[in-house]
Structure 1
Amino acid sequence: MSTTSWSIAPHTVHVNEDPAGAVARAQRDGALFFEWPLRGIRNLHELGASAHELFQVPYPSPTLSGMVDYASDLEWFESPQGVLLVVDAEGARAKVVLAAASTLPPIGDRWRAQGKPFEAFLRGVVDVAAVLGELERRNAHLDEFGRTSRFQPDTHRLAVSAPAGSGTLTDPRPHPILRWSRRGA
């Protein structure tokens, strides 16, 4: 796998961690950088429309699974060196934050399959436990698919990182087990 120097933790979803260093490295090294504000989005339809606009999608795709498909390759941009996505959840509705979070593991897994780094930062998350639970659910689906697929056996969970004291931490090893521990609770 070829990873560019900008990504220190490729194929990782960071919850409530500071993206500033990753943003500077990604911009320096020519990676695609997107910032996705969720405030004011009221439902899944608006979330899909927001993602469609953010990624400048040249064709219609009104569903979140469609969003996963187009955000997984972004072929209409010139030869990306991977993707850094910062999702701003501050002041956003809980269901919108959970829906956006649910898209990140499958998107990251597809970028990993292309040999390119993908990092996502979810900042401003209020209900960290719910978001980490959703990421675990989506990661479990990736693990199951990787175990049962003849065509995609390298499919597996993305690492998930959250600051100490957020209540739940995950083991950064991507495969095969995600360990949960209660800290600071």
Structure 2
Amino acid sequence: MKIEEISKQFAVHLGVESYLLDQLVIDARRHGMMVFELDLSALSNVAELCQYLETEFKYPYRTAGLDAAIDLISDLEWFGNTRGYLIVVRGASDSSNVSGVFASLLPPILDVWRKQGIPFVVALEEKGLIAFEGVTGVGASVAG
């Protein structure tokens, strides 16, 4: 899988092997996409997830809660990028509530990006498939 294959999609790609994630990051940057590399492994609760997302996505103002995360990640206008976004997710754990909560944020975010016509792609490493199982209704695919 290369960025040329997914950059016009608004999807979550599940089970992407580590070497492919690395190549996707290189390809996305080469095509002018902004890349966010998230690691959920150290997060133990929703408050930590909200703070982590605020830091990683460099929100333009302080926020609180998951609704704010959805609103801001659905926008990202402060970056001024029209070429698209690649979100690489590592450290999702099947036993972590945080992974499931993060997965639940994706459907409304993807819907907004689809309406804006700017590519927004999430690629999840192969280890976290079960945690993201419920996202399949938003155009998820399993890489192989």
Percent identity, please. 32
Take 1:93 and 1:45, find their aligned partners in 2: how far apart are those partners?
Answer: 17
Take 1:58 and 1:28, find their aligned partners in 2: how far apart are those partners?
Answer: 26
- Gaps of at least 5 residues in structure 1 are 1-5, 140-157, 165-185
Take 1:124 and 1:97, find their aligned partners in 2: how far apart are those partners?
Answer: 13
The Cα shift of 1:91 comes to 5.7
Provide the aligned C-alpha RMSD in A: 2.2
Deviations 1:111-141 (A, max 9, x none): 1111111110111534x34421x214xx4xx
The Cα shift of 1:99 comes to 0.9
Q: Which has the larger radius of gyration?
A: 1
- TM-score (normalizing by structure 2): 0.84
The Cα shift of 1:61 comes to 1.8
The amino acid across from 2:62 in the alignment is P
Take 2:63 and 2:4, find their aligned partners in 1: how far apart are those partners?
Answer: 29
Greater relative contact order: 1 or 2 (C-alpha under 8 angstroms, separation 6 or more)?
2
Take 1:91 and 1:114, find their aligned partners in 2: how far apart are those partners?
Answer: 31
The amino acid across from 1:159 in the alignment is G
The amino acid across from 2:13 in the alignment is H
Q: Contact 2:13 / 2:122 at 8 angstroms: preserved in 1?
A: yes
Q: How many residue pairs are counted as aligned between the two chains?
A: 138
Q: Which residue of 2 aligns with 1:135?
A: 135
Q: Which residue of 1 aligns with 2:23?
A: 21
